[in-house]
Structure 1
Amino acid sequence: MKFKLMAVIACTAALYSCDDSTSGVGDFVSNIDKIEAFSSTYEATSETEIFTETFTKGIYSRTNRAYLGKYTDADFGEYSASFITQINCPEGFEFPERLKEITDVSLELYYTGFYGDSLATLTVQVDELDKVIDDSDEALYYTNYEPKNYYDETGKYTAQKSYAAVDKSVSDSLRNSKGYYPNIKIDLGEEFRKNLDDKSKDPNNFKDANTFINNVLKGFYVHTVQGDGSIVYIKDIWLRINMKYTVTGSQGQDSTAIGSSILAASKEVLMSTRMQNNTDKLQELKANKNHTYLKTPAGLYTEITLPIESKDGKDGIFEKHKNDTLNSVTLSIKKYRYNNDLNEDNADKSQYKMGVPQNVLMIRKGDMNDFFEKNKTFDNETSFLGTYDSSTNSYTFSKLNRLISHIFSEKRQGNNDADRDVVVLIPVTTETDTEGNIIGVSHDMEVNAARLFGGEDGEKLKMEVIYTRP
């Protein structure tokens, strides 16, 4: 009660400098000296949903990062990641003028981190694409695309390589040094080398990215074919071309030199990650009514029905406050403290602790497709960003009066959309400019999870409303 009284007093003081009044929801002009503020609490309901049941094409995944590997978790089941990538050939690229031969070619995958068993052995396979990808191919913007549409899965693969997330063949001193960049280096073999060597005889094949992709290399499908235990987070993809060429010395003599050129995957060409989750396990978690879940990537999200309408004999926010000014509406969603007890039955089975989603987007259910497809950012009116607070172990959204205002206006205009009062919580990552301003929001593609308070039979979510009444 003391907290509520303090909150009401603080809000009342803030009214004289606040410009966030809820337009169209009880705005008024008063000549009295004091405005009394009140507070009310309402219960919101929540449930777990599966991404692939809502996003039938998967989640929108246009990104400059790739993910690779396979991991089976006691709570969430099997999860795997693979990717298709093209290689960019920048304008002006040239081989040495007196190129003798290309000696070997490798695909190098550089990663910034991983999840799972650092020593688990997995086998990655590289298949060369057999069709030129049209950048307008919508399927490749989502995580559920079918790779066999872009390469011959019955044909001979280009290369394979066994690897572990931590390469023990590298000395500890080097691996722990500041400049070390962990990578998986895959020799693409003699047949690929010979074909590239033949293509290099015509410089026009390398004049720009489009010509290179059409005439030389359409791209790769990179996927795990054996093993289980880790997922690596890939930042850079290089095609390294080693060669011999002739140079003329200071005395006019010819000598053979050895060098290399690097072509990279970049934002100028397509890269698309494919995600697969064990839906049987996800269905089990969705069926749990005592709490809700978040699981990335492309796993589970939480859906919340806001208490706008009256229900079960209890007045909703609209009925109680349709003529009031809503000065603050706050919803705080607590997370269970330990991530290794996501499912009590499996508490002793999870070897590796998943990370906690650091940023969660709250957005109206009907808006979530457009939000990611059109590269929008949150507007604090119908979409909001909540950051995980480890001190309170929760995500807090404190400007929801603007959303409630929006819903009130729609309700008055006769909008009876079934999802009008429904919002979803989706784990996201953010992109910032040089000044730290958030300029982009995308799906969280790393392995993270959280079990939240709520659920149909669990502890109800509390929505705090502070309002003034003319």
Structure 2
Amino acid sequence: MKMNYFWAFLLAIVLFSCDDTTDTLGLSMMPDTDNIALGAQTFDVTTETMLAGPVYAKTSMGYLGKYTDPQFGSFEADFLTQLTCTDQFEFPVKRMVPVDPSASEKTFEATSASINFYYTSYFGDSLNTCKLSVYELNKDLVKQNQSNYYTNIDPTQYYDSANGLIAKKAYSAVDLSISESIRNGSTFFPVVSVNFPLAKANQFIKLFQTSKAEGKNFKDEFAKAFKGIYVKCDHGDGTVLSIDQVHLNISFKVYAVDSLGNVIKRTQTGYTNVDSTYITTATFGSTKEVIQANRFTNDQTLEELALIKDYTLIKSPAGLFTKVNLPVGEMANKLKNDTLNSVKLSFNAYNKSEVSKFGMSAPKTLLLVRAKDMNKFFEDNLLIDNITSFLANYSSASNQYTFSNITRLITTSMNENKSAGSVPADFKEEMVLVPVTVTYDSSNNLISIRHDLKPGYIKLKGGKDNKLKLEVIYSSLSK
């Protein structure tokens, strides 16, 4: 056996065993290794920055705030959300303290009500003074309309700016009125709380009584009566909150009862035969079963950055992606009698020179997906198949993202685009690099891939004037 061929062949097997298939262009089976020669070749890959445009963002997270970056310009985030309750929800009217206990028809009123925006993280200045406004929606966020989940949703179609205002609130990401020891505690959850009109809270209590009397489902009746809220940042540039939960809390007074349901009497000195009462709270929240729609807007700066030809940029959320043009036609014609063993594509990043005080970090994970399949990939909540979609994590050691073997992508594209027995020499497969967040279950199985909606960016080598190299290892019959 020719030993140099043997060792080269063995090396290829070791290097590329992560791909469980060997894709063949001109060979249907592997011949005797005495007749196999390995070769390596590179092909030029062109890349360009593209505007992300609106992205599909079906999520239970809401983003709120404004941020102006010296490089990427102004970014603004606001959101609309529905609120709901459980199917078994009930106001405990039998225990609630009525406004007039002696009246034949009991009426009940809330003692207080608020909408609470809970967040675990934020981007930007922790002490920047901001102000938000909350509006009531006057139109349903229809679930069947998937456009509601894209980040170009138009809030003005769903609320009345003149009459729909519920409340305003000034806030900062870190509330210095709360002691540092409490803020650093494991059970502390930062929140922006705004007062909710008591008259409307009382309407919901009355609606529950009516629904109960008429045998209707209160959850459905609540959804009809209160279509949701729109939350926007009116003031403050420099902070974006990542809001995990939105709760409408309605508090009211109830009687304290024992295990048999009897009202407990106060026993303290100075009280005689007086009913014991306390305040409790009912919660309506934003959950995965209702719509939460984020709107992101960027200024014209991104359009200018997309024209740069010396490099490419990726900016999240919903900012800039990188388009990758793979020379599939050229490869098919030059390697038509050979077998592909491995195709490797790496994206090297420039070292960051942060201008702003609150620099954006590099996206942790990039998705490489066909441009024509990108929207469907996210709308259908697909996972990578390592055929037309791949993941790569950022390596701080090498300062790059590496897709180690996209062989099956190349061969699939070739097979799909053959015309008259061959792939057109000028055919290029358009791919897109998209920043994503990935979720794994307790067994480390990948279960979800979503658009990365946190502020971040990376500057990649390439661009129309600086071609990248696609590294190919192939095998062929030796002569």
Same fold (TM over 0.5): yes
CA distance in 2, matches of 1:295, 1:195: 45
Aligned with residue 243 of structure 2, among 234, 242, 246: 234
Give CA deviations for 1:308-355 in whole Å, capped at 9, x if unaligned.
23xxxxxx3222212211111000001112162xxxxxx4xx221102
Q: 1: CA distance between counterparts of 2:403 and 2:436?
A: 15
Q: 2:293 aligns with which of 272, 282, 287?
A: 272
Which residue among 186, 207, 211 is the counterpart of 2:194? 186
In the other structure, the counterpart of 2:338 is: 324
For residue 153 of structure 1, report the CA deviation from its aligned partner: 1.7
Q: Is the aligned partner of 1:338 residue 2:357? A: no
For residues 203 and 353 of structure 2, the distance between their equivalents in structure 1, rounded to whole angstroms, comes to 50
State the shift of 1:98 in Å: 2.7
Q: How does 1:405-424 map to 2 (within 5 A)?
A: 405-413=411-419, 421-424=429-432
Looking at structure 2, the residues matched to 219 and 406 of structure 1 have their Cα atoms a distance apart, in angstroms, of 46
Q: Are 1:106 and 2:114 counterparts?
A: yes
* Mapped pair 1:166 → 2:187: no
3-state DSSP of counterpart to 1:337: coil
Q: How does 1:207-246 map to 2 (within 5 A)?
A: 207-215=217-225, 217-246=226-255
- 243-252 or 368-377, which deviates more: 243-252
Distance verdict in 2 for CA 1:6–1:236, change over 3 Å: farther
1:366–1:419 contact (8 Å) kept in structure 2:
no
| 2:110 counterpart SS class | strand
Of 311, 318, 321, which aligns to 1:291?
311
2:55 to 53, 59, 80: 59
Q: Paired residue for 1:343? A: none
The Cα shift of 1:370 comes to 1.2
Deviation, structure 1 residue 199: 3.0
CA distance in 1, matches of 2:75, 2:16: 50
Residue in 1 that maps onto 2:140: 132
Higher mean Cα deviation, 204-213 or 371-380?
204-213
TM-superposed CA distance for 1:271, in Å, is 0.9
Q: How far did 1:233 drift?
A: 0.8
Shift of 1:253: 5.0
| Residue from 439, 448, 458 that aligns with 1:450 | 458
Show CA shifts across 1:192-220 (max 9, x none): 334334434435399453222113x2111
Q: Is the 1:108–1:237 Cα contact (8 Å) retained in structure 2? A: yes
Distance 2:384 2:34 in 1: 37
Aligned partner letter, 2:471: E
Q: Which residue of 1 aligns with 2:302?
A: 282
Which residue is 1:20 aligned to? 21
2:327/2:427 contact within 8 Å kept: no
Structure 1 pair 11–178 and aligned structure 2 pair: CA distance change class (3 A): same
Q: Deviations over 1:273-299 (max 9, x none)?
A: 111111x10012111111100001100
Percent identity reads 36
* Pick aligned residue for 1:68 from 64, 67, 71: 64
1:344 maps to none
Give the whole-Å Cα distance in 2 for the aligned partners of 1:6 and 1:390. 32
Structure 1 residues 12 and 93 mapped into 2: Cα distance closer, same or farther (>3 Å)? closer
Q: Is the 8 A contact 2:117 2:245 kept in 1?
A: yes
CA contact (8 A) 2:148 2:293 kept: yes
Equivalent residue pairs, number: 444
- TM-score of the aligned structures, taking structure 1 as reference length: 0.88
In 2, Cα distance between equivalents of 1:258 and 1:16: 64
Distance in 1 of aligned mates of 2:87 and 2:371: 43
Counterparts in 2 of 1:6 and 1:263: CA distance versus 1, 3 Å: farther
Match in the other structure for 1:435: 443
Tell me the equivalent position of 1:398. 404
Which of 359, 369, 376 is equivalent to 1:370? 376
Q: Give the SS at the match of 1:143.
A: coil
1: CA distance, partners of 2:308 / 2:134: 40
Aligned AA (1:328): S
Alpha-carbon contact 2:302-2:320 (below 8 Å) kept: yes
- In the TM superposition, residue 154 of structure 1 has moved relative to its aligned partner by 2.2
Alignment of 1:371-390 (within 5 A): 371-390=377-396
SS at match of 1:202: helix
Does 1:11 pair with 2:12? yes
Separation of aligned partners in 2, 1:428 and 1:41: 28
Return the alpha-carbon distance in structure 1 between the equivalents of residues 295 and 427 of structure 2.
29
Per mean C-alpha deviation after superposition, the further-off stretch among 191-200 and 74-83 is 191-200
Residue identity opposite 1:76 in structure 2: F
Q: 1:92 to 1:418 in 2, by over 3 A?
A: farther
Query: Quick one: structure 1 residues 417 and 193, their matched pair in 2 at CA, closer, same or farther if it must change by over 3 Å?
Result: farther
Alpha carbons 1:330, 1:464 under 8 Å: kept: yes
Matched residue type, 2:96: L
SS at 2:156's partner residue? Answer: helix
Give the 3 Å change call, closer, same or farther, for CA 13–447 of structure 1 in structure 2: closer
* Ranges in structure 1 where 5+ consecutive residues have no aligned partner: 53-57, 310-315, 341-346
CA distance in 2, matches of 1:308, 1:124: 51
Instruction: Look up the SS of the partner of 1:214 in the other structure.
Output: helix
Give the conservation status (yes or no) of the 8 Å contact 2:50–2:322.
yes
- The answer as to whether partners of 1:158 and 1:192 remain within 8 angstroms in 2 is no
Q: Cα 1:16–1:250, aligned 2, differ >3 Å: closer, same or farther? A: closer
The alpha-carbon deviation at position 130 of structure 1 amounts to 1.1
| Kept after mapping to 2: 8 A contact 1:21/1:27 | no
Partner of 1:468: 475
2:73 matched residue in structure 1 = 77
CA deviation profile, 1:399-450 (whole Å, cap 9, x unmatched): 2110110111123246779985111101011121221111211111111111
Amino acid at match of 2:223: I
Please tell me whether residue 154 in structure 1 is matched to residue 127 in structure 2: no
Partners of 1:18 and 1:156 in 2: how far apart? 57
Cα pair 2:66 2:233 within 8 Å, conserved: yes
In the alignment, residue 27 of structure 1 is paired with which amino acid? S
CA RMSD of aligned residues (A): 2.5
**Distance in 1 of aligned mates of 2:13 and 2:35:** 9
Q: Which residue of 1 aligns with 2:84?
A: 88
Give the drift of 1:19. Answer: 3.9
CA contact (8 A) 1:365 1:419 kept: no
Aligned to 2:3: none
Q: Distance in 1 between matches of 2:346 and 2:8?
A: 15
